Structures are given as C-alpha cells and as structure tokens.
Amino acid sequence: MSKSIIVTESYLSAHDFAAIHQKQEQQRYPAAVRQRQVAPGKVPAKWATWWNVVWLLLLTGGAWLVPKPFKGYIIIALVTALVTAVGLWYRHYEYRRAYQQSPTASRPTSFTILEHGVVIEQQHEFFTLLWSDFYHIRRVGRWWLLYPNADYCYYLNMRNIMPPATEADLLELLHEYEILAR
C-alpha cells in the first residue's frame, strides 16, 4: 500500500473527552472487578442535570408537608441526592480540568497516515511518528487513540477520513504492520 490516508482536522470536545476516558476505564477493568460507579455511562446531557435540580428543589419544598414519621426518610433521600450531585459535579470538574491540561485534546489535529508512520499537524506544526514509536494504539468508539508514550495520546476521529480511503484501509495498514498487537 503506497497511498496515504488523510484524516482532516479532528477536534475533540470536552464531552467526547469525558466519554472516551469513561469508556477506557470500563475497558481497563472488567465488570466483575470494577466497582459500580455512581452514574455509569455517558456524561449526562444538560437537560438531565437541570431536571435533577428541579426534582431536588421540589423534594426539598415538599419535605415540610410530609407527616412527621416520614420526614427522616425524606431527609435521608435529600442528603443522598445532594451527595450524589456533588460527586457528579466533581467528576465533571475533573474531566474538564484534565481536558484543559491535556497537550493534545484541546487542539485541532490533522493526520496523514503513511506506510512508515503518521505525520501529525497541530496549529501549523508538523512532526512524524514512526509506527515503532507508538507505545499503544487503542480504539474507543469512533476514535483511535494513538499513544506515543503512556502519558498522553492523539485523538484520531474515524469520521474525518478523506475519500477514497476508508476505515478498512486504516485497519489493513495497522494489521499489516502488527501495530494493534502491542
């Protein structure tokens, strides 16, 4: 295969960053080993968090109208909801902070994939990584994560492959050079 595969500018949003890293955690630890998360799955949509706030306010307002024997249950439910909300907010804050501190996630990146490696362009800076230079390559959903070392990765969006190349061409190249076996 002598042609190159061009992947146009891939831009990773903070939401995609959080979803990718949650999926990596799920892949890293099998379900039998992994402890149950407070809110597994994708980062909640904005309307879902607003609905939770409205639900919490209604529950708080209605707590004083409940007969005395049930007030303890309502207060326990409120404290539980509040602790869960703080935990979810903190998780969102940590993902946002990690996204902003990442040297590659918040910058648009273009790739030219060749037989010998990958030419990466970030903000008019070009550099080449040979296939042997990669520490690890992992697929998460529609993204390929290219790790030059264990500390960070480049995010390649499979939807941005320029025709006539396809995702199958990239997979063929990765299998040909036994890159996915590492």
**Arithmetic mean of pLDDT, 102-117:** 82
Asked if the model's pLDDT at residue 119 lies above 70, the reply is yes
| Cα–Cα distance for residue pair 101/152, rounded to 1 Å | 11
Query: Which amino acid is present at 19?
Result: A
- Model confidence, pTM: 0.64
Q: Provide CB contacts within 8 A for 11, sequence distance 6+.
A: 108, 109
pLDDT digits (tens, 9 = 90+) for 36-94: 544 445 555 555 566 677 766 666 666 566 667 777 777 787 788 888 888 888 888 88
Helix (H) or strand (E) holding 171: helix 167-176
Mean residue pLDDT of the chain comes to 77
Order across the sheet with 125-130: list the strands: 5-10, 109-113, 117-122, 125-130
Cβ–Cβ under 8 Å, residues 100 and 17: no
Please indicate whether residue 179 or residue 95 has the higher confidence score (pLDDT): 95
Asked if the model's pLDDT at residue 133 lies above 50, the reply is yes
Determine the pLDDT at residue 38.
47
In the chain, the domains with their CATH numbers are 5-12+103-176 (2.30.29), 21-101 (no CATH)
**Arithmetic mean of pLDDT, 169-176:** 82
Percent of the chain with pLDDT over 90: 1
